[in-house]
Amino acid sequence: MTATPLPLLTSLSRLAKGAIFGCSLLAASTSFAAEWPEHSITMLMGFPAGSGVDVIARGIQEPLQQSLGVPVVIDYRSGAGGNLASSIVARAKPDGYTILLGTAATHGINPAIYKDLPFDVEADFTPIAPLVDVSNVLTINPKVIDVKTVAEFITEVKANPGKYYFASTGVGTGTQLAFEEFNARADLKMVHVPYKGGPEALQSVVKGETCCIFNQVQTVLGQYKAGTVRLLGVSTAKRIDVVKEVPTIAESGLPGFDSYIWFGLFGPKGMDPVLVNKINAAATKALQQPEVVARLTNTGNTIHISTPEKFRETVHANRSKWAEVVKSAGLTPQ
């Protein structure tokens, strides 16, 4: 029998030890994923309590807790358009215990608005699950611009370039860019007036300081029901149940128009796919509960259930879209 050379025996020994070590790591990872979660999960949000994002957070908080079997704690870290909360999650351990309630603003618009973000919205995050899509609605004060359809609105503004002012919740925010997208598609020339937040912007329309605003349906419902504003059209391709009488912009003057804001859950990069799928399954279960569906749809949201992979594609496409809108609006990154 030929003896095995000593160097070869040494190499085989190292390979065996490496294989055992690798199997140990895999077993540990599998065990961790199987036992997860063992304690509370923190869901960071980059916007203040009472905001539209908060409505979504509170709408899914309890059903997520029920599905996962541990508390889900909302951590408000508002600032820099949502970037503060995003930066915290981007640096967190990818153990599933720190997640982000992100939006089309944090992961679609902000990369085009802020030139020195301390993270990459795609490379540094793990998309987990979309939650809802939200339509913007063209909201006007009929005492300032007395039109009843999107087509009439476009005709009136085109006939009076520079006369009408539109409000937003701030430079580079979703409310401004929604209107900029509309203006570009309709070839309109309007004056932008930024405010410090949603209440101030909407009140400017109610008071007649500005003629109109593009805002999420849930934020204008109160004034609409009170009769102080008129809704001309929702920005999505389909009508919204909570205001079924309001046509889409596409069917009421601007064919093909389809724009919306989305909300979804993210984790840090490098999350174990098993954990990602567990949270996605919990979110899916939560979004299928009748009381959750009613709570969210009654404020103008559309439930969005999908896979992490499809959600990643949405984030990528949305980032490209808003980059084009920012460019066409002539906005300079901050």
Q: What is the pLDDT of residue 196?
A: 85
> Taking residues 11-23, what's their average pLDDT?
53
Q: What is the pLDDT of residue 169?
A: 87
Q: What is the pLDDT of residues 82-97, one digit of tens each?
A: 999 999 999 999 999 9
Length of the chain: 334
Indicate the pLDDT class of residue 10, thresholds 50, 70 and 90. Answer: low
Would you give the distance in Å from CA 30 to the centre of its chain? Answer: 31
3-state secondary structure of 233: strand
Q: What is the pLDDT of residues 226-248, one digit of tens each?
A: 999 999 999 999 999 899 999 99
For residues 219 and 182, what is the distance between their CA atoms, to the nearest angstrom? 19
Indicate the pLDDT class of residue 308, thresholds 50, 70 and 90. Answer: very high
Q: What is the pLDDT of residues 269-303, one digit of tens each?
A: 999 999 999 999 999 999 999 999 999 998 889 99
| E strands, the chain, in order | 41-45, 72-76, 98-103, 125-140, 165-168, 191-194, 212-216, 230-234, 260-268, 301-303
Q: Are 252 and 232 in contact (CB under 8 A)?
A: yes
Mean pLDDT of the chain: 90
User: Any bridge partners for residue 98, and if so which?
Assistant: 42
21 pLDDT above the threshold of 60: no
Q: What is the pLDDT of residue 69?
A: 95
Q: What letter does residue 232 receive in the DSSP assignment? A: E
Q: What is the pLDDT of residue 318?
A: 93
For residues 110 and 244, what is the distance between their CA atoms, to the nearest angstrom? 31
In the chain the domains, ranked by start, together with CATH numbers, are 40-133+261-328 (3.40.190.150), 135-252 (3.40.190.10)
